[in-house]
Structure 1
Amino acid sequence: MSWTVASQPRPLVCSSEEEGDWSTGICSCCNDMKQCCWVFWCCPCFACKTSKAFGQCLCLPLLDVCSCVHPATMVMRTNVRYHYGIKGSLCTDCVCATCCPSCVWCQMATEMKSRRIGGTSRVKYL
């Protein structure tokens, strides 16, 4: 006997808040000048550090070198958004990751700092 899946598993958000917004805008990377300079001078290093801090593979952001679409940045932004229960869509993630990947990495790092929950990316499913 085979069973069909009636609904997909839904992620449980790790934060106690309902869906909210990003703590900073996509163009707010200059609020933290140290971080902004690091991203400006060596975005791949910063992206690898941020990816590692979120619990992902250290080399994940290096996959973006092969493409102009930046798939790793888009996936990472989507993962962070789901993890913290931030409103948005895959389309928005794709546009942001394609147009300004360095700003996306700054935004994700700032979000991780402001939520103080960086380091785990495990998402539980119902």
Structure 2
Amino acid sequence: FTADLPVDGKYYVKEIFAPDGFVTTEEVQEFTFEYAGEDQTEVSYDFTFENQPTTVELTKTDLTTGKELPGAHLKVTDSDGNTVDEWTSTEESHVIKELVVGKEYTMTETKPADGYVTAES
């Protein structure tokens, strides 16, 4: 960004909100805007903020044992019914990144694991 700031002031740059699918960082970059001489009409500062994606871990477990249940076909849809991700459960959790904070999603079991009934969405 470009700003017309008073000279010899102390300032900071902070992310107010993150782009969709990313987590807002609490990182603050401070700097002092100092006079660089009459020949220098602009002063530049370079800051890098690393955006971290939102991360959701989803598991499919047996209700009675709490153990991971492989073989179930699952999908996540957004509030408009668009499929965000589809997978078959394994003995590991399934990770989806970059979901939008505050937006509603639904996980649906499209086919249960062998020997089980279909779970509610």
Q: Larger % of helix: which?
A: 1
TM-score by length of 2: 0.24
Q: Which has the larger radius of gyration?
A: 2
TM-score by length of 1: 0.24
Q: Larger % of strand: which?
A: 2
